[in-house]
Structure 1
Amino acid sequence: MPEYGYFLSCEEHRPAELVEQARMAEQAGFQSLWISDHFHPWNDAQGQSPFVWSVIGAISEAVSLPVETAVTCPTVRTHPAVVAQAAATSSVMTDGRFRLGVGTGEALNEHILGHVWPPAHVRLEMLEEAILIMRRLFSGEEISHYGAHYQVENARLYTVPEEPVQIDISGFGPAATGLAARVGDGYITMTPDEEFVSQFRKGGGGGKPVSGGTKVCYGTDRDEAVRTAHRLWSNQLLPGEMGQILPSPRHFEQLEPLVTEDMVSEKVVCGDDVDQHVSALSAFADAGFDRVYVNQIGPDQRGFFDFYRTKVLPQLQGSH
């Protein structure tokens, strides 16, 4: 049976709210947590973007659930040696219950220091080199590294967990999925696609965990839930590479007319139909995922957790 977790959205909520949601998730029966790592939200309506490592520190004191970033980009905005230190400390604070989810990132968050935003194949090269550096640092030994993209000199992490931090790689296409299979400790993707799972397994992923996530908007008024999802997260329905290359929230806002409320109604589970929520998460289980994370869009977090605690999670946990 898959593990069901809650996906904390740093784009929508202040730090204290995220910590409280982590508590509610644990009380509702969720088994683990994802948390997003952004410098910006996707649009001003979302309205927040706290520093993820500070929030993880607070969460480590509030709950006993495993935590994973979904996902951190350890290549442009933050040097991989610094990400390695943050991840190692997070693992120590959670008694080893931290995993580092990584990906090639988006210009929205990563170009802020004025660096050129590289093309996709270069970003994958950078990610692979970053993972090599971080794994060497997790050993607790002093390292130096002179690579195509990064230099590290005389670096040693003194605060490290007993076991090296596991690194899961996010992928939405064949190249990134192939990298995840080759060098990842697990695979992350956001659609219940059996082909990607199969590629990961056959390409070297074997029995390593596959994790997926989805967003829903629970509410007793379905039309209002659709409007909330459209207002806050229409960006997730934009086609192609726009999500990776647009540099600021206002650019995503300019494209909001491309996504209609009808499109959101069709693509995003909204409302309080138990079967629709169960079906959306079961699709990941049916596609071979080991861990499934769900995020509630909008402010009605308590209503969502009550709904999932009493109606949705019991069905999911009884159906597999």
Structure 2
Amino acid sequence: MVRYGYTLMCEQSGPRELVRYAQAAEEAGFDFEVMSDHYSPWLVSQGHSPYAWTLLGAVAQATSRVGLMTYVTCPTTRYHPAVVAQKAATVQLLSEGRFTLGLGSGESLNEHVVGEGWPNVAVRQAKLVEAIEIIRELQSGELVTYDGEYFRVDSARVWDVPDTPLEIGVAVSGEESIAAFAPLSEHMIAVEPDAALVEGWTAAHTGSSRIIGQIPISWDPDRQKAVERAHEQFRWFAGGWPVNSELPNPASFAAASRFVRPEDVAEQIACGPDLDELAESVRPFLDAGFTDVAIVQIGDEEQEQFLAEVAQPLLEKLRALGS
């Protein structure tokens, strides 16, 4: 049975609102909740970017059933992996074992802010391998010293280690990243419904694994408003990962997406009141073999109505597809 999640989008909502949405999403019946971990929104029109880890602590206390996950954290530039190890252990304790640490090689948008530059993708992935090794070692609760090509850890120890082992999911995009990360993590994360990625991961990974994806939708009683909102806030989505990971700020995303039209966005993102259409947009992930799909409802003002009136019937339709 496919599990369906709700995305807590830090780029489009403030922190107090996100905690309320987390509670409402649990009540609506979502199986898990993922949270973005960015320093900046993609576009100025989104208007928010609170600190994800403070929010995760609050959400862990405001909910009791749903799984929680970062989607995703980059543990190589803005954060040192030793610090991520401590943060992740604490959230796992606060959530009583409901947390999965989702990791990725990052985007310039969020990582360049600390002034360390933005390396090429090969270096980013090599750094991520070392970061995962460090995080794994520190979850033991033992004293760790690590001397790698990119990171050093000097006599570090995570003192509060959860009884429920922390599981890690890693974002992959091709054969090289699968080969690098499948041996180091439990779960696969991908932003596109690529069956070849799933097949490659399954072949490379030993043991059971979740295959976790994410898809935006724009529900609104008025389809035109839904399209306009998706265009205003999510037209950056059209650039794809190879472009989006390199752009440094919202002005760059605005420039890169200036020729993207509302109708272009509507071709990529299901928009409007038709729940069958919204649910059907998830089918490519199911056909590709994903076990978990997190829904992004675009926009802040519509979240409460979406969660109160739409989420339950939409989940029923999604679960009918998954079965």
Same-fold status (TM-score > 0.5): yes
| CA distance in structure 1 between the partners assigned to 2:175 and 2:11 by the alignment | 28
Spell out, residue by residue over 1:166-214, the C-alpha distance to the aligned partner (whole angstroms, 9 max, x if none): 1100112332233332322100111222111111101225521111110
CA gap 1:215/1:239 in 2 versus in 1, 3 angstroms: closer
Amino acid of the structure 1 residue aligned with 2:25: A
CA gap 1:177/1:263 in 2 versus in 1, 3 angstroms: farther
Q: Indicate the residue corresponding to 1:47 in structure 2.
A: 47
Q: Indicate the residue corresponding to 2:31 in structure 1.
A: 31
Q: Indicate the residue corresponding to 2:281 in structure 1.
A: 280
Q: CA deviation at 1:304?
A: 1.7
| CA distance in structure 1 between the partners assigned to 2:110 and 2:148 by the alignment | 24
Spell out, residue by residue over 1:41-96, the C-alpha distance to the aligned partner (whole angstroms, 9 max, x if none): 11111111111110011101111111000000000111000011100000000001
| CA distance in structure 2 between the partners assigned to 1:96 and 1:239 by the alignment | 33
8 Å CA contact 1:108–1:244 kept in 2: the answer is yes
Give the count of matched residue pairs: 320
Q: Indicate the residue corresponding to 1:216 in structure 2.
A: 217
Amino acid of the structure 2 residue aligned with 1:131: I
8 Å CA contact 1:186–1:205 kept in 2: the answer is no
- Secondary structure of the residue aligned to 2:113 is coil
Q: Indicate the residue corresponding to 1:312 in structure 2.
A: 314
Q: CA deviation at 1:217?
A: 0.6
Q: CA deviation at 1:240?
A: 5.9
Q: Indicate the residue corresponding to 1:296 in structure 2.
A: 297
Moved beyond 4 Å, runs of 4+:
none
CA RMSD, 1 decimal: 1.3
Matched, 1:244 2:266: no
8 Å CA contact 1:214–1:293 kept in 2: the answer is yes
Amino acid of the structure 1 residue aligned with 2:303: Q
Seq. identity, %: 38
Amino acid of the structure 2 residue aligned with 1:80: P
8 Å CA contact 2:29–2:312 kept in 1: the answer is no
| CA distance in structure 1 between the partners assigned to 2:59 and 2:287 by the alignment | 31
TM-score (norm 1): 0.97
**Residues 84-233 of structure 1 aligned to structure 2 (within 5 Å):** 84-204=85-205, 206-233=207-234
Amino acid of the structure 2 residue aligned with 1:234: R
- Secondary structure of the residue aligned to 1:57 is helix
Spell out, residue by residue over 1:156-175, the C-alpha distance to the aligned partner (whole angstroms, 9 max, x if none): 00011013311100112332
- Secondary structure of the residue aligned to 1:6 is strand
Q: CA deviation at 1:307?
A: 4.3
Q: CA deviation at 1:272?
A: 1.1
8 Å CA contact 1:180–1:186 kept in 2: the answer is no
| CA distance in structure 2 between the partners assigned to 1:135 and 1:17 by the alignment | 33
Stretches of structure 2 that go unaligned for 5 or more consecutive residues are none
TM-score (norm 2): 0.96
Spell out, residue by residue over 1:226-274, the C-alpha distance to the aligned partner (whole angstroms, 9 max, x if none): 1101100111111462211111111111222131111101110100111
Moved more, 187-196 or 172-181: 172-181
Q: CA deviation at 1:9?
A: 0.2
CA gap 1:240/1:5 in 2 versus in 1, 3 angstroms: closer
- Secondary structure of the residue aligned to 2:69 is strand
Stretches of structure 1 that go unaligned for 5 or more consecutive residues are none
| CA distance in structure 1 between the partners assigned to 2:244 and 2:311 by the alignment | 33
| CA distance in structure 2 between the partners assigned to 1:285 and 1:206 by the alignment | 20
| CA distance in structure 2 between the partners assigned to 1:192 and 1:245 by the alignment | 22
